[in-house]
Structure 1
């Protein structure tokens, strides 16, 4: 990115009638206003640039992560009984805890260079990674309201996303649920009104009850459909919402998407299986800092109407430790992104 600095009050410098610098302000700092003037690897100054400061920003792009098939299905549709190919209705869901700027301090992440912790750097690196996945549904966590309004909403809009922001409060449990309902009956599902459920779950810093580590009460509720009345998490209930424990139940056939890697035994899937915890059938980690490594992020789906087609490959701990841990100049969050591709199950012929 190439930026120009000016102390003039006008927001669009021009050369005659043609605008020389875009009206969009990319950064304000210490009374200076920076305007983005290019995004190429080269820039040729002109006479109009005299009196301004030119700043080049160079950033490493995160290493590409592959989408690994877990279904064994290579055709883009479902072979119907009469020999016709009908659409299977695939879509992708991305979940990413991007690390709030309020938490990205040099005290907590002293091993990460200060320039790589700055929001100006991290936001561009995160945006490149997010849009690079080209997910149909993007669920982001730890997004500050001003960053949503001033950066993510307008930037994601350029890539065709309609953004919705839910502010976190002291009482909120941090989970996102996407309910999809087919409006037409030709997408290979049981009926047009059938709903598919995708639940994105992560831990909540500061919330008293809602932690999504394996065997926690929230994880048990989603994965098992109920919580043991004697579960220790239920002992802490300052809001009085967890009793009676019998109400903490559901009948949804929810399954963790990444548990599919634990059932794959060939090819690239076998390589990913080694990055899974055999005791939990979940990734060995989704959060990796110098002092902690573990799994705090999940994608659950309704197994009666969806199947998992492919999953974004997991990262190797050794490759991350070359920079001590996350975040790093390459990866701008202390969490890794999770992405799953789902297919709507074909309707049953009677």
Structure 2
């Protein structure tokens, strides 16, 4: 049952009449207490009518009042039973005006009994009538309570054995499991949602399982201690944080349906389901799914498609094993598995980074697992599962041989000396250690996030590729000086480095922690002609050709991104090649800034090429050999991609409403013939993999006049990637993956 629809129509006139639904709910609750009022309810059902149907003109008024009274009785009985349960387990939900309610009830008891009502009953007499019915309802409730006290309590279901059953975490398990067990009415969640939506805002509303969970966890969340280590806020300037990541995920989920999806919760509880149709998992917009109180034995692997799920209730079924794919639903906050046959959890549960509560009471759990929950709670269990050593390993990325823009062969990559007219280029965002915090990368095992582990993995990976040119982004200044420069010098590389401009405003020690772009080339392959450190904002401010607009100052100037430009000469062919290594701003809200950064870069490159290429005409500039590598934080539909691939960008959505002078008035234009190295593959499926964002944002752009692609490093193992929610992990030391291309120089002996 869809809760939004239930709220809209208040479940009147749909399915069974409202009075029958209420009677069934009361009956099931009474049966749970050992009572059986089936005969009474059957008699009531034969004479009751739906409130949603209203008064019928052919019925007597007294019959109408009797039906209203019966409905009122049932509502009051259900409300009191829920309040008793709330008072027992969650006293914090009790209304503060209880004394006022008692006063009202006492005043109601003093009202005289009304006589036979006439058909035209005045408004005051109607109110007195309903007050009297409320008094009778209380008397009925007291009688039922007296009867239930004389009936033995039914046998409780089995409980999970733990060493500390009195711990606060296990008390929560037992309390919430009891709430879940008492919520066995079909479509329980939808009924509760509809019932609460009809109540007066000042009335106390019934407490459901999810609301109760939120309350008992609130104090624990308040006492949660932040990470003991902190990072200098200046180092994180203009860097994505965990709050940014969560906000991006929320925006992504809202934009996914573009406002067309009116409901996102589905209640199939208590329907006697034995299996689940795979078609259910086509509803990837679902945020809440209730499958409790059925006869389900197996959860299909297709559940991994429901990446938007926040709440999943699988309690009171017959599930003995959970699929690995359930752990890929990383947005889950509440997962209820009460009263099943589960003994352990798949290793993928380490991905449930947002999980606040895991209901496990009533399962024959492994003792170690149960004790962790009892002693430390849900989050510690998930962390323990995540930190287990993994046996998952990806297949090696294939090396694709390219001829005339098409893949002609694929093999395992082997580092080998390039032919005299060829060279290889690697571009890799290595994830600076100051950004790799447990709060930002909650899904990464703690041991795999340690810098020592990641540095060793990065070293092995980069040395294994052994490319002629290495372009790295997000390299800490000190790490470049103390680790990468001496390491790669031993392998025949010459290194150059430039960090972000924020370092100029920091102390010497803090400046060494700022990241930047590192460039290495093999000295037996190239000769350095010129190096230029390129600051986007400084170049813009230092030139009169860039209009100083409000957008320029407010949006562009406070970004400290840089580029490292090198002019190298290929020794075998004497070809002069302009290499650029850059890292653009990350935030998608500033796509206009990224476009302006690239616009300025390509504008300034023309002057640089004229100077060092000794070009005397625009045609010579156009045919210059250029390779631009980096993390562009721009997807294929962006203005940045359009500018590189087509030579211009005008009236693009990324720049809508912005004023950057000539760049927005007449558009961006450049004379170079540039192409993405991976264009023949339609780009890679992704170069950046995180829970909130997975796409291709790293590129190697090259000029097609003098260079051609002869080989590419293929995509990451699809099966491995589809069963991961994000990098870094045990096998991938960064949230980005490296891209690698082999180039051949078309002509030789150019002077």
TM-score by length of 1: 0.63
Partner deviation per Cα, 1:191-245 (whole Å, 9 max, x = no partner): x5x54445556553359411422232222221111121454336456xx577455
Matches within 5 A, 1:32-43: none
Corresponding residue for 1:224?
646
Corresponding residue for 2:672?
252
Query: Is 2:430–2:736's contact at 8 Å kept on the other side of the alignment?
Result: yes
2:485 counterpart SS class: helix
Could you tell me how far apart the structure 2 residues matched to 1:241 and 1:130 are?
42
Corresponding residue for 1:343?
744
Corresponding residue for 1:136?
468
Which of 154, 157, 160 is 2:492 aligned to? 160
- TM superposition shift of 1:165: 1.0
2:743 counterpart SS class: strand
Corresponding residue for 1:308?
709
Q: 1:241 to 1:314 in 2, by over 3 A?
A: farther
Corresponding residue for 2:721?
320
Could you tell me how far apart the structure 2 residues matched to 1:70 and 1:167 are?
35
Could you tell me how far apart the structure 1 residues matched to 2:471 and 2:729 are?
22
- TM superposition shift of 1:157: 1.5
2:481 counterpart SS class: helix
TM-score by length of 2: 0.31
Could you tell me how far apart the structure 2 residues matched to 1:234 and 1:148 are?
39
Could you tell me how far apart the structure 1 residues matched to 2:583 and 2:709 are?
20
Could you tell me how far apart the structure 2 residues matched to 1:164 and 1:217 are?
30
Query: Is 1:213–1:296's contact at 8 Å kept on the other side of the alignment?
Result: yes
Q: 1:235 to 1:95 in 2, by over 3 A?
A: farther
1:251 counterpart SS class: coil
Matches within 5 A, 1:238-277: 243=663, 245-246=665-666, 248-261=668-681
Which piece of structure 1 moves more, 145-154 or 223-232?
Answer: 223-232
Matches within 5 A, 1:109-120: 109-120=441-452
Partner deviation per Cα, 1:104-148 (whole Å, 9 max, x = no partner): 111222221111101111111101101110111000011111211
Which piece of structure 1 moves more, 171-180 or 310-319?
Answer: 171-180
1:162 counterpart SS class: strand
- TM superposition shift of 1:313: 1.5
Which of 438, 444, 449 is 1:106 aligned to? 438
Partner deviation per Cα, 1:259-282 (whole Å, 9 max, x = no partner): 123xxxxxxxxxxxxxxxxxxx22
Corresponding residue for 1:68?
400
Could you tell me how far apart the structure 1 residues matched to 2:423 and 2:713 are?
13
Matches within 5 A, 1:272-283: 281-283=682-684
Partner deviation per Cα, 1:25-45 (whole Å, 9 max, x = no partner): xxxxxxxxxxxxxxxxxxxxx
Could you tell me how far apart the structure 2 residues matched to 1:177 and 1:318 are?
38
Q: 1:314 to 1:155 in 2, by over 3 A?
A: same
Q: 1:318 to 1:59 in 2, by over 3 A?
A: closer
Structure 2 residues not aligned, in runs of 5+: 1-388, 409-418, 502-557, 595-632
Q: 1:173 to 1:229 in 2, by over 3 A?
A: farther
Could you tell me how far apart the structure 2 residues matched to 1:198 and 1:215 are?
25
Query: Is 1:177–1:198's contact at 8 Å kept on the other side of the alignment?
Result: yes
Could you tell me how far apart the structure 1 residues matched to 2:457 and 2:497 are?
21
**Higher share in helix:** 2
Which piece of structure 1 moves more, 222-231 or 167-176?
Answer: 167-176
Structure 1 residues not aligned, in runs of 5+: 1-57, 75-86, 262-280
Could you tell me how far apart the structure 2 residues matched to 1:314 and 1:206 are?
25
Query: Is 2:394–2:720's contact at 8 Å kept on the other side of the alignment?
Result: no
Partner deviation per Cα, 1:131-188 (whole Å, 9 max, x = no partner): 11011100001111121122111222221211111112354445555544456xx73x
Partner deviation per Cα, 1:45-77 (whole Å, 9 max, x = no partner): xxxxxxxxxxxxx99998643321012799xxx
Q: Is 1:205 aligned to 2:606, yes or no?
A: no
**Higher share in strand:** 1
Partner deviation per Cα, 1:265-311 (whole Å, 9 max, x = no partner): xxxxxxxxxxxxxxxx2212111112221011000101000010100
Q: 1:197 to 1:89 in 2, by over 3 A?
A: same
Which of 99, 118, 127 is 2:459 aligned to? 127
Could you tell me how far apart the structure 2 residues matched to 1:137 and 1:105 are?
30
Q: Which has the larger radius of gyration?
A: 2
Q: 1:97 to 1:305 in 2, by over 3 A?
A: same
2:691 counterpart SS class: coil
Q: 1:134 to 1:182 in 2, by over 3 A?
A: closer
Q: Is 1:285 aligned to 2:686, yes or no?
A: yes
Query: Is 1:90–1:344's contact at 8 Å kept on the other side of the alignment?
Result: yes
Could you tell me how far apart the structure 2 residues matched to 1:176 and 1:248 are?
22
Could you tell me how far apart the structure 2 residues matched to 1:132 and 1:63 are?
16
Query: Is 2:707–2:745's contact at 8 Å kept on the other side of the alignment?
Result: yes
